[in-house]
Every structure is written in C-alpha cells, then in structure tokens.
Chains A and B, each alone.
Chain A
C-alpha cells in the first residue's frame, strides 16, 4: 500500500455544442496516507466522480498532478484498483475468473490463480459461488466480487465510486460492515466516494466534503475500530460526526 496525493487537480469539460466550458474540479489538493481510508462526500454534480476518474486515469487531467507513492501517474493502471457502481464484472467469466483477472494479466500461473481465487472468495464469503456467472448472483454478491476482484490484484490504492448505491439498504449495511472488516484486516489505501453521509462516517478515517469542485472541509473520524452498525447506530460520537458532516454537505 502506498500514499496518494492530489496536487492542484483541476478539470474543465468543454461542451462543443453549447460552446461552453464547465469547471468540474478546481485546484483540489489532498493527501491520503498509506493505509488510510478517506471518504469523499458532496452534493450531486460537485465533481466527485470527475476526481475519481482522473485518479483512475479514465479522463485526462486539465491541471495538476496525481501521485501514487510519490510517482506521477498517467492513464489507467493496475496500481489503482477500481470498484464501480455498476459492478462492471465480466459477464462471460465465472466469479473465480473475474477475481483472478488481474493476476492473469500479470502472467500469474493457473495453480497460483486458483489459490488467489480461493483466498479472496473466502474473504468475501463467496467460496460457494466460484463457478457461477455474474448474472446468476444478487447485486450484493456481485459487488462483493467487484471489491475482491480489485483487492486480489494488490493495488497500491483502491478507488470506489458509490459502490453500494445500487443495492438495497439491508444489503448495503452488510456490505459496509464487510468492507470495514476487510479494511481492518488488510489496510489498503482507499478513496471512497458516496452520497451517503452515514456511510462515509461509518467507513472512513477522514471525510472530505466537496463543494462545487473545491474541498470545503475535512473531518477526522476518530471512532474506535472494529466498527459495526449494532454499536454505532446509537453511538453519540457517531451521531455527532454524522450531523456535522451533514450540515457541511447541506451548506455546500
């Protein structure tokens, strides 16, 4: 795991039909320490996805730099694992093949890949589904695969854009608890984008509130770990922090 830093990151979109430009992200600087879990919240259209896509290398950067472990990155790469809101699993590959896709691209042999599949499917509680195809799984199970597929490739940074937004509330809470457990176990560096303030506070060490393409404020979340909804749902500190972040988002 490595640290991630954004230096004066900016993005200007150009609309060729209207002939106008949109400053989606303006001069955002952020440091994420190795092994830190940072959540990014903010109202719709404030540039969260744009920031994540620039870090992932999916869209060109208009200004500034992205550094992973001190090295500037250009374009997508296996050092930055991505978990998508739409899961983006390969429909023609089994669950095990999806999970070991990254290692396969690195040239890891079959026997070794089988071991990796076993390890990570166990981590996600999906050992029984190894040979199924994604369309045979529920949304929650599909996103578990999405998370361990990214992890199994040993990225330096894990990028997640509203990964739990399209599953039901019940499943979402389970997935959040599983993600904290996995994070506590493995300590990846994570940037987690979400609309859901409670989700951000529950998962993160630090919550970054964005407003119109700028960082409005950063809130440290020093809640004890391991975290679980059973404990936090009635917890005063949790409620206080959630309220604070919520007020910031509403003022953004």
Chain B
C-alpha cells in the first residue's frame, strides 16, 4: 500500500512538473489494451500493427523528413484556410447580426449552404478547379466560415439589451457600443464558432488531401494504404489526434480562460 502510495505521489509530482504527462496518462491503459490485443494475435500483424512497430514507423518517417514535411503542409493549409475563413466570416457575422433585414435575407441561405457539408462540395470543385490547392483551400475556407458566421450572429443577437442601454446612458456612440459592448459580449460565441470551424476544417482538410492527394497527413495515410503499410496509416491517425489536442489545449482553451470564463459569461 505504501509502495503504491509513494508511486502515486511520484506521479503527482511529475505531472505537476510536466503537464504533458497528465495529458498522456489516460492513454496508457488504451495503449496497453492495444498491445494486449496485438499480442493475442487475433489478427495478422499486417492488419493490426503493435504500438512498438508504429513507434518505429513514426521514427523512421520523422527521420526521413516525410512526416515533418507533410505535417507542415497540412498545418499551413489549415492555418491559411482558417485565417481566410475567419477574415470573411467574422465581419459578415457582425453585419448580419446587427442588421435585421440582412438577417432575414441571408439566414435561410446560410442554413441551406451550411447543410451542404464540406466534402459534399468536393466533386463539383474537382470539376471546376481540378486536383489542386484551390480546391483544398475552398473546402477549408467554406467549412470554417459557416460555424463562425452562425455563432457570431447568435452572439451579437443575444446581447443583453440593458448593457447597450447602460452604454448609451454613459454617452457611448453606436460605433463605441459595437466595440466596447456588443463584440466583447459576442466573443464567447465567436470562439465557439472558431472551435467548431477549426474542428470541421481539420477533418475537411484530411478528406480533401485524401482525394486531391499531393502531400499532407491525409495523403500520407491514403498513400500508405496503397502501399499496404497499415502502421503508417495508424501513425497518421495518431498525429491527427495529437494535433487537435495541441490546438485545443494550447490555443483555444487559453483564449477561453482569458475571456468568457474570466468574465463569468460561461460557466465551467
């Protein structure tokens, strides 16, 4: 018992020193289970590689420079697409949120196009733009845009009217109210839109890379399938998961902690 306790104490101290450790810990039983199933040899190795083989493959992909290059390609595509999507979506969302007539005129259209999910556009985009960067960028921008627009509109329209009244009675002009009251109030919604948009965008990117296929993590996975190396496919899957965890915990969560949660607008 005391041995277990001291082990536990050690873990707690380590986890405090390296937060990444506590993020990794929940995966330990999962990996153990995976290793166990592989050890049972229920499936042939070529169908289901073990953790060590996957680790080895990751290392060699890293070493050869393929993984960093493809990862870089995917990240740049996502970043550029997401930035463009946000640059279009946030002003549009603000405009539609503030303007009742614009809202009436565009809302059904927005819902209509939101329903045609990202990859449903791929067939026609391939016809129009061919297998290239334009198609991929379009899909990402499109996918990021809709959740951001819809959530921005929602955030603006759910502003508390008495805050606007308070600002008016303190002498704020329309423009000042927009920047000092309406936008900060909508920020938690905008961030939620961003979180959804990035999540969908990331998935759409992988799908686009699989189909358009020149480089990137999606291409890596699909190419590995052609070569029959399942371990590379698994590497790709793991990379996707890790990347999203990093985007969420290093970028999105800190923003949320510093804004909506700090202000008591969203309860955690």
Contact = CB atoms under 8 A, between A and B. Distances in A.
A101 to B, nearest CB: 5
Contact of B264 (A77, A88, A91): A91
A134 B165 contact: no
B163 to A, nearest CB: 6
B104 interface: no
B169 A133 contact: no
Contact of A105 (B160, B176, B259, B262): B176
A76 B165 contact: yes
Contacts of A80: 169
Contacts of A150: 169-170
Interface string A90-116: 111000000001100110000000000
A81 interface: yes
B162 A101 contact: no
A153 interface: yes
B263 A91 contact: yes
A66 interface: no
Given A86-B162, A92-B184, A133 B263 contact: yes
A84 B171 CA distance: 16
Interface of B is mostly: helix
B178 interface: no
Interface residues of A, number: 28
B54 interface: no
A166 interface: no
B184 A77 contact: no
Nearest to B168: A76
Interface in A34-70: 56-58
Interface residues on B, range: 20 to 34
B174 to A, nearest CB: 12
B171 A88 contact: no
Contacts of B166: 82, 84, 88-90
Contacts of B167: 90, 101, 105
B265 interface: yes
B267 to A, nearest CB: 10
Contacts of B262: 133
Interface string B155-197: 0000010110111111111001000110011010000000000
A140 interface: no
A133 B176 contact: no
B147 to A, nearest CB: 23
A88 B170 contact: no
B165 A58 contact: yes
Interface string B84-97: 00000000000000
Contacts of A86: 162
Interface string B235-268: 0000000000000000000000001001111000
> Across chains A and B, which 6 residue pairs bring their CB atoms closest together, nearest first?
A135-B264, A78-B171, A76-B168, A102-B170, A91-B263, A92-B184
9 contacts: A76-B165, A77-B169, A80-B169, A82-B169, A92-B265, A102-B170, A105-B170, A105-B171, A135-B263
Given A56-B169, A88-B160, A105-B172, 19 more contacts: A56-B165, A57-B168, A58-B165, A78-B170, A78-B171, A84-B162, A86-B162, A88-B166, A91-B263, A91-B265, A92-B184, A92-B263, A101-B170, A101-B172, A102-B171, A105-B171, A133-B263, A136-B264, A149-B170
Interface of B: 160, 162-163, 165-173, 176, 180-181, 184-185, 187, 259, 262-265
